[in-house]
Every structure is written in structure tokens, then in C-alpha cells.
Structure 1
Amino acid sequence: MQHTVFTFAELDFILQDDQRWPGVREALGMTYESSEGIRTAGGASLLARGMATVQGADIVMPIEVSMPPQLLATGGVRVVLVMADAEQVSLSMLQVAPSDGPRVLFSPEGPGVFDVRVLTDEMEAIELLAQLVIEALSPGSNVGIAYGDTVLQVARTEDGWATRMQETADPTPCDLADVRAQIAEVFGPILSGQGH
């Protein structure tokens, strides 16, 4: 798994010539202004962090720096993950490109700062989603998985697991195999492009 933390300005610099970037920005809820000044600051930031170099009149980046944002710009099915425990709430978005394309995990780290992770394509997208959810949960925490109006909440209790589809419903105790099966049943068709 390859990941890099980027500021909005850095993403805007890297993706400035990608026609998909404005739509991706909007889909990800990035309401930051895009301007030449922002992009210039992004390029300067990449240089200052040692993630880019100057060659002639251009700022250039190695592929390992530019690839995560470029894969994010490819688009695809976006499933939102909201993780919560007694102390904090965090938000991530898993993007799966169609036809077994790239998988990217996008997580806001702070105002205007984002972690962009390129995930393995060595497993089915639904298996990857289940693994992300299960690995994120410690006892007393829960993850809400959402795509549009489709939501599944998975909780890790002190002595097992529980799930629910509706906020008003009581969580149903289950085992780990049931968690995987429910995630596959609800989100498998969505991630394969056959659902909603």
C-alpha cells in the first residue's frame, strides 16, 4: 500500500491539467478555491518537502508522488467510511475504479490536508472493503459504511461484533464471518457496478 499526505494546494498543482479534477474535487466535498496562486503554493510546498525537483522551467515529481492523486482523479464508485469510538470520529472514502481498476483510500487528516493511499488490487474490491472495516475496528468502536442511502453500521463489542442497517434498529450480534457476509451482500453489487 502506497500513501502520501498532500495539502489541497499540492493536489491542485499535481492535477491542474487533468480535466477530471474539478469534478473529483466537487465529489470529494473539497470546497477550497482553485487558483494559480494556490497551485503555485502547492508546487512550492512539494519542492520544500523534497517531493519534487526543478528541471529547467518545470517542477517535476517522481511517479510515486504523482500517481496517488492521478489515480484518485480516475474516479469510480466511492464508498464512505465513518469510523467512531469514544474519543474521535474520522472519515475516509474508498474509491474503486470500474473493471478492477485502481483502488484509492482518501482520508482528510486536517483542514486542507489529505492522506491518499493506493490500495492493493490483489483481492476483490469487496474483500478489500471488508478488510479495511475489520482492521479499523477495536473493541468499543464502530464503522458506518455508506453509498448514497445504503448504510451498514458495523460495531466491535467487547465480546464480538454487531451490525445494523437502520439507525433506529438495535444492533444484531454476529460473528466475523457474518460481518464479511453482510458487507458482501450489501456492497458487493455496488462495488461491482451492478448495484444502485
Structure 2
Amino acid sequence: MSAGSDLLAGEDLDTDLVGDWTVQNIVTTVVPLLAALSILQMVSGTVLESFEEQLLAHPSLLILVPVTIGTAGNLGSIMCARLSTQLHLGTLEFSPDNPNIRANVGAIMGLAATVFVLLGVASWAIGRALGGTLGLGTLLLITIGSGMLLAVWVVVVSTASVYASFRLGYDPDDTTIPVVTNVCDITGVLILFCVVWVVL
């Protein structure tokens, strides 16, 4: 482990982060962050509204939107929690050669592949019941394609947010999950409809 990664491995966590675990510090950190992220959520709603015509034409896509962005947020929360825990334990090194990083990425990608296949089948079945016309193969292509792209993005955003949070002196447990879930809301919609545009 290099000298630069020693700091990331938890060298100063006991004095810097643990000492900041007070209600006042958590609130002063999280409230401004949540205010900024609320604005991002409004942008996400505006983006989603621009795809209203496609959503109404294909009920299966209407089903996909909340589940896709919700799943992305869940995957991001899992990734952030695992990285934050390893950071506090002093076992995290931000390097592609780190087996812990590779294991986390593999777990997220495997979980995403499983969930988005099931999501494709479920959205097809519900869409059929609602009068949708999209076939199972088309929906699987959309859900798996957008889901795996989103999973890669989740890994990047989660890792970057944990790293940035630590470097800026914040506890990643307080900041990273709100950031990742909100960022994935808007980007999840964009990625989903980019794939829809390509496939359809």
C-alpha cells in the first residue's frame, strides 16, 4: 500500500471522523446538501415530464421508470455503505488492483444483472395486462441494457462520492447515499430513455 493510500486506509479516521459524530455536525452537513439535492430532484421531474408521450404510448415503460431509478439508488446505497465501512475499518484503498474494490464492483454488477432481468419480465407481463404492445425480447433488451449501463454509472458515482467526501473531511456515512440516490434519479431516467431511443 502506498503512502498516499495509507491516509485512505483510515489513518486519521479516529481523530477526524469519529470526533465529528455529533447531531450538530451531521445536521449542518446534511441539511445544505439535501437542499441542493432537492433542486436536482426538480430537474429530474422536468426531464421525466419531457418523455410523457412515450410513457403513455407504452405502459411497460411507465412501469420501468420508478423501479429502474429506485433500483439504481439501492445499488448505489449498497456500494456506498460497503466502501464507507471498509474506509472506517482501514481496509480501503482506491485502486483497481484492490481486491475489495473488485469484489464490490462484481457484487453490484451481478446483482444488477439479476434484478434487471427480472424487471424486464415483470414489466412485460404487467404491460401486457395494461394493453401494451412491446415484446418480451424488446423489454429485456431495454431493461438489461439500461440497467447494466446504470450499474456502471452507480459504481463510478459511489466510488467518487466516497473518495470526495473523505478528502473534503466529511463522514461518507452522512453524505454519500443522498448524493448517489439523487444523482441516479436524474441520470437513471436519461440512461433509460437513451436506450429506449436506440432500441425503438
On whether the aligned pair clears a TM of 0.5, the verdict is no
TM norm structure 1: 0.25
Higher strand share: 1
Higher helix share: 2
TM norm structure 2: 0.25
